[in-house]
Structure formats: structure tokens, C-alpha cells
Amino acid sequence: MNRIYLDNAATTPIDKEVIAAMTHVMENFYGNPSSIHAQGREVRTLIERSRKTVSSLLNASPAEIFFTSGGTEADNTAIRCGIQAFNIKHAITSKIEHHAVEHTLEMLLKQGIIEKLSFVNIDSKGNIDYKHLEELLSTNDRSFVSLMHANNEIGTLTDMEKVGDLCEKYDAIYHADTVQTMGHYKHDVKKLKVHFLVCAAHKLHGPKGVGFLYVNSSIKIAPMIFGGAQERNMRGGTENVYGIVGLAKALELAYTDMEAHQSYVQNLKDYLKNRLKEEIEDISFNGETDADKSLYTVLNVSFPAMEMADMLLFNLDINGISASGGSACSSGSNIGSHVLNGIGADPKRPSVRFSFSKYNTIEELDKVVEEVKKLVAQNVGA
């Protein structure tokens, strides 16, 4: 069976050029980058060259880039260390953030490190209420704001410039979870009023287990992981050299002809959206779907209420289609998706997240529509 992979928001296939770059390092460079001998210095050069590549693409300084094990560690470091560095007692987030953000802030509240956790209002499509955000900023002491650039389940985009302006106005620290958008949009940190950005390489055709944290040079934080003096005393532990080289190569490739890539993938999303609307009655879409308001790699589809709704993804899988999804909370035993629950989605309607990459084709999407149409017809009203 030729499988169709439409779960790129979860992880992406590694680009062959990235594999080649990593393999070259594995085969030829083995020194510990902390060693002062020739082999160590060679590997240290590879890391710093990768750091320079990443920083130049973000218009940042190399000193502002710290390599991590991925997006979760980067988010945790930004939140925990950013809050503690400035003794901040009030944090602002939303009910539809990734658990790497939500659970970290909840734990800090439970531990008494922060005294108050506020949730900014969102509408039924996942859009931030910026007036409410300003109210929260203006009526509390200095705040830590953690809001993702694009929601990983429904794709709705947050205006980072607008959030940054508000945070600057009220002297707040701003952390943006950019795991889903790094490598898909250009981030110019000289223009964005943001203190922290994060990356997970496997979301942009790079390897798993590596990412980075951007820390604006205007602030200083202590490390979260202690050990050696790696990452300029900001993250103990021998560096994942092959992963770092792969990350830099993947980001470099992503920035090459990015506009053409965006256009191609946006066309895939629009095509599937329109075909599903034509072929299946009573479907809708979770989150924003307009190109200027939504992440172009994600389409979250809400299907008609059906018996055995939780089997829809399973049936897609056994028919060769890889996607993800769920439903809003409908019972104590089924916690469902906190994102769909947060936007008030109908718990009786199963949802599927289709997420695209440069490796998908229109022909694949035609097959997906045929299979989905068949499965819905078999289950609705059954």
C-alpha cells in the first residue's frame, strides 16, 4: 500500500539534503566539542557555523541562539527561567496553547512561583481578544505573556507584532511558541518585539530531538539544565552535533524559495478544503482558514456527527491515510482535544487535522477525498 502522509504538523519527513549533511558529520567528525584538541575544535566549528546560519536567517546575533533538545525544552526554559529571572508573579496565556506551555505554567502556579495565571479570551476560531489582553496587562503587575504564533491543531495565527507592541507598552516579557511556524514564515527578530522564540527541527524536515531557543540580548536568564559550560553556560550537556547541523541545514533550505513553497502548500490546503465541501454535506472547519489568518500547512475538518466517531481516524489509517485529530470534551472518560474544547467545538462531531508538506500532491488529496466520502457515508446515521 502506498500510504498518504498528512500529519506533517506532528512531524515531517527529513529532507535528503539534511540527511546528507548529518551523515557527513557522523562519518567524519567525532570529537567532543568541549575538547581543546584538533578533533574537538573541528566539531566546535561545526556547531558555531550552524549557530551563525540560524542567527543570520532570523536577523539575530549568534549569541542569542541556544541549541536545545527540541521545542518542549525550549518552551520550558523560556517560561521557567524567564519568569524566575524577573521574579514575575503574573502570567498570561490562552486555553489553546500547546501542553508544553500550558502544563508548565500550571505547575509554576501550583509551586507558588507565580501567584496568578490569566487566560486571555479567544473566539470560536481561536483568535486572541487583543482588548482583553491589554486589559490583563494593564490591571496586573509586570506580566509574562506566552502565546503561540500558530495553533498546532487548528492553524489560527496570532498577530505577533500586535502582541509585541502591547507587551512593550506594559513592560511585559513576551514568549512566542513558534514551533509550528519556524521555517514556514520568516521571523525577523529585529522587527519583532519578542523576548523568546522556539524551534523544533523535526517540524521543518529536520531531525527529531533538536531545536533552539532564541533569547533577546536585552534580557539575561539562568540555565534550566546544569552541568558543563556548553551553550555559553546556558545548557549543560554534550551537544547533539549531528542534530544541530541538520537543524541549520533544514532551516536554510526552508528559507530558500520560501514564497514558492508557501504557495504550493497553500494550494494543497485550499484544494482539499474545496473538494471536501463539494463532496460531503454538513462539514465545517475549525479555526481560521483564510490564507492571511491561518497556518497554510494545517486544515482541521469537522465532520457530521456519527456513530463510532472515534473510529474515523482508525479507518483512515487502515486505508493508508495518516492524519490526526479528535473531538471536544464530551465525557469524563473522554477528555478530547483541549484546543477544540477551548473554542467550543461540538463534541458530537469528529474532527480530523490534515497537515501538509512539500512532498504531498493533488493526486494524493483526490484519493483522500474519495476515502473520506466513503467512510462518512458508511457511518453517518448508521
Active-site positions read 329
What dihedral angle (degrees, nearest 10) is formed by the CA atoms of 67, 68, 74, 79? Answer: -90
The secondary structure of residue 204, as a DSSP letter, is: G
Between 362-379 and 258-279, two packed helices, what is the crossing angle to 10 degrees? 30
Residue 113 CA to residue 89 CA, distance in Å, equals 7
Tracing cell 477551548 back to the chain, one arrives at 342
Which three three-digit cell numbers place residue 103? 502544563
CB count in 10 Å sphere of residue 238: 11
Residue 156 β-bridge partners:
294
Torsion sign over Cα 268, 270, 276, 279: negative
Q: How far is CA 11 from CA 18, 83, 240, in A?
A: 15, 29, 19
| CB atoms near residue 159 (< 10 Å) | 15
How many CB atoms are located within 10 Å of the residue 329 CB? 16
Amino acid identity of residue 369, one-letter, is V
Q: How is residue 255 written as a grid cell?
A: 528559507
Here the cell at position 312 is 474515523
Backbone phi, then psi, for 316, in 5-degree steps?
Answer: -60, -45
Q: For residues 294, 299, 303 and 307, what is the CA-based torsion angle, rounded to 10 degrees? A: -130
Residues 299, 280 contacting (CB under 8 angstroms): no
Spatial neighbors of 361 by CB under 8 A, at least 6 apart, are: 268
111-132: string of b/e by CB count within 10 Å (b at 16+)?
eebbeebbbbebeebbbbebee
